Amino acid sequence: MSNIPAELLYTNSHEWLADNGDGTVTVGITHHAQELLGDIVFVEAADVGRNLDAGEEYTVIESVKAASDSYAPVAGEVIAFNEALEDAPETVNDDPYNEGWIMRLKLADDADLSMLLSAEAYADVVASED
């Protein structure tokens, strides 16, 4: 569980979410997801100002192995994209939970957070895939 921080929330599709406590959340892909992808070479910019539904594709992450869509864990408006990833997409591999965040959302509904997985539940998802 050392690669699954307890304070974050998760999805079955390997996105993580940090509640910033101000009606916004930070979103990225999990350590497990970046391991599956391999060396990340490109992260498509999320469109700032775009309104997303939960489960809607918001970016494409390309690695040396494949291109993979990432999905919004909750509904909201994209308020920031991690522009550092344009020059250093490998940051997602190196530090997926801190410097490798992908976007920030203004929540459409705080209740959406209750639909996400705890770290313990997400660890079970990862274990079931092995």
Tens digit of each residue's pLDDT (9 = 90 or more) over 74-115: 999 999 999 999 999 999 999 999 999 999 999 999 888 999
pLDDT class for 130, splitting at 50, 70, 90? confident
pLDDT on residue 95: 96
Here the CATH number for the domain that contains residue 117 is 2.40.50.100
For residues 37 and 1, the model is more confident at 37
Tell whether 84 is covered by a domain. Answer: yes
Which uninterrupted H or E stretch holds 18?
Answer: strand 15-19
Q: What is the pTM of this model?
A: 0.94
Tell whether 50 is covered by a domain. Answer: yes
For 119, the domain range is 10-129
**Nearest residue to 128 (alpha-carbon basis) of 27, 14, 37:** 14
Tell whether 90 is covered by a domain. Answer: yes
Name the 3-class secondary structure at 129. helix
Query: How many separate domains does the chain show?
Result: 1
Tell whether 3 is covered by a domain. Answer: no
**Nearest residue to 77 (alpha-carbon basis) of 45, 108, 113:** 108
114 CB-near residues (< 8 Å, 6+ apart): none
